[in-house]
C-alpha cells in the first residue's frame, strides 16, 4: 500500500459551544464543553487513517498525561507513532475553541511541544519521509523544519502536499519544493495578494502560485462553493456538498486527509477532491475535530 507521512502538530482542544463568541469584557455561559484531540497535523493524519490510508506521523508531545493519551489514540486507529517525540519539560499544544450556533469557530492556539519540532528532531525520522509516497505538511510547527522536510522529500521522490494553514507569509524555499498546495480563500490571498470573491479570482491566484513558485497543482477550497482545482494552469470548479453545519472545526483537515488518501489509492485528481469533499461535508455535521471525522464507509455512502 502507498504510504503517507504527516509532519505536523498535536493539540488538546478545549471546545466550548456558544450562541456567539463573547465580545470584549463580556462573560457568557457555554452550552457545552468538551476536551478533544486536535492539532492540524494530527487531524489530517487521523482523517487519512480513518479513510483508508497507511499513515506515519512525525510530531512532538509534552511530558503530560494528555499527550501520551493522544499518542495512544493515534496508535489505536493504526497510525505509526514511532515519529512522535516526547519533549521533556514541555506541555502538549493547546487550542481554545469557541463554536458558535452558526457553525463558525474562533480559535486560539498555544504551540507547546509543537514548537520543539525542530529540524534536528525531524531529521531523526527522515527515513519515514524518504520511504513515503507523499508528505503532508501544515503550518502549526516551525517553518524551518517544513523547509528541511520538503527538501528531503523532493530528493527522495516523495510528493509534497502543503496545506498552508493557519495563514502566514511563507519563504520561497518552502513553496518551491511543494508539488500540491491546498489553501482556502484567506490563505490564498496571503500567498498571492489576490482577494477571492469570484471563481476568476481563484483562477488568478492559482496561476500566481503556478508561475511564481512552480507549484504543479493548486486546490483553493471555497467553503460551500466547493474547490477551484488548477493543474499546470488548467483550472476547473468542483462544486461541494450542501450540508447543515454544526461545527466547521477540522473540516479543512478532513478534506486534506481525504484528498491525499484518494491520491495514494491512485484515484484521479478530480475523484480525490470529491472524496475529500464528501468526508469534509460529513465532518461539519458533528462536533469536534478528530471526533467529527467520518469513516471510509460513511464517506463512500455519501459519494454514492
The pLDDT tens digits for 42-57 are 999 999 999 999 999 9
What one-character DSSP code corresponds to residue 269? H
- The response to whether 221 counts as a known ligand-binding position is yes
Q: Which of 26-30, 223-227, 270-274, 291-295 has the lowest mean pLDDT?
A: 291-295
Residue 260: closest CA among 138, 115, 127: 138
* Residue-averaged pLDDT of the chain: 93
The pTM for the full model equals 0.93
pLDDT of residue 89: 94
pLDDT of residue 101: 86
For 147-159, write each residue's pLDDT tens digit: 999 999 999 999 9
pLDDT of residue 241: 86
| pLDDT > 70: percent of the chain | 98
- The response to whether 222 counts as a known ligand-binding position is yes
Asked about 253 being catalytic, the answer comes back as yes
Q: Is pLDDT above 90 for 188?
A: yes
End-to-end CA distance of the chain: 24
pLDDT of residue 67: 95
Q: Which of 31-45, 121-135, 282-296 has the lowest mean pLDDT?
A: 282-296
- The response to whether 123 counts as a known ligand-binding position is no
Nearest-angstrom CA–CA distance, 119 and 149: 8
Backbone φ and ψ of 52, nearest 5°: 120, 0
Task: Give the fold, CATH level 3, of 3-9+40-92+115-303.
Answer: 3.40.1190
- The response to whether 83 counts as a known ligand-binding position is no
Comparison of pLDDT for 250 and 47, the residue scoring more: 47
Catalytic residue among 76, 80, 253, 271: 253
Amino acid at each position: 500500500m502507498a504510504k503517507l507521512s504527516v509532519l505536523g502538530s498535536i493539540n488538546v482542544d478545549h471546545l466550548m459551544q456558544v450562541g456567539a463568541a463573547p465580545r470584549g469584557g463580556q462573560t457568557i455561559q457555554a452550552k457545552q464543553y468538551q476536551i478533544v484531540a486536535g492539532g492540524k497535523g494530527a487531524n489530517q493524519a487521523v482523517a487519512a487513517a480513518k479513510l483508508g490510508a497507511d499513515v506515519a506521523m512525525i510530531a512532538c508531545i509534552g511530558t503530560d498525561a494528555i499527550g501520551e493519551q493522544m499518542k495512544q489514540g493515534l496508535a489505536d486507529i493504526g497510525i505509526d507513532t514511532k515519529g512522535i517525540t516526547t519533549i521533556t519539560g514541555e506541555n502538549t499544544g493547546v487550542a481554545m475553541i469557541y463554536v458558535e450556533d452558526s457553525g463558525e469557530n474562533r480559535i486560539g492556539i498555544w504551540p507547546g511541544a509543537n514548537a520543539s519540532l525542530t529540524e534536528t528532531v525531524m531529521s531523526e525520522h527522515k527515513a519515514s519521509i524518504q520511504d513515503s509516497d507523499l508528505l503532508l505538511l501544515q503550518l502549526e510547527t516551525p517553518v524551518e523544519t517544513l523547509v528541511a522536510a520538503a527538501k528531503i522529500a523532493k530528493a527522495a521522490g516523495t510528493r509534497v502536499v502543503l496545506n498552508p494553514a493557519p495563514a502566514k507569509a511563507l519563504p520561497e524555499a518552502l513553496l518551491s519544493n511543494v508539488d500540491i498546495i491546498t489553501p482556502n480563500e484567506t490563505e490564498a490571498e496571503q500567498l498571492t495578494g489576490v482577494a477571492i470573491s469570484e471563481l476568476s479570482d481563484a483562477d488568478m491566484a492559482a496561476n500566481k502560485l503556478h508561475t511564481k513558485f512552480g507549484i504543479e497543482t493548486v486546490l483553493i477550497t471555497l467553503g460551500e462553493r466547493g474547490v477551484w482545482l488548477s493543474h499546470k494552469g488548467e483550472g476547473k470548479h468542483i462544486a461541494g456538498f450542501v450540508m447543515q453545519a454544526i461545527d466547521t472545526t477540522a473540516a479543512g483537515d478532513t478534506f486534506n486527509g481525504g484528498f491525499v488518501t484518494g491520491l495514494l489509492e491512485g484515484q484521479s485528481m478530480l475523484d480525490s477532491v470529491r472524496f475529500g469533499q464528501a468526508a469534509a461535508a460529513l465532518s461539519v455535521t458533528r462536533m469536534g475535530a478528530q471526533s467529527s471525522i467520518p469513516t471510509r464507509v460513511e464517506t463512500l455512502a455519501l459519494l454514492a
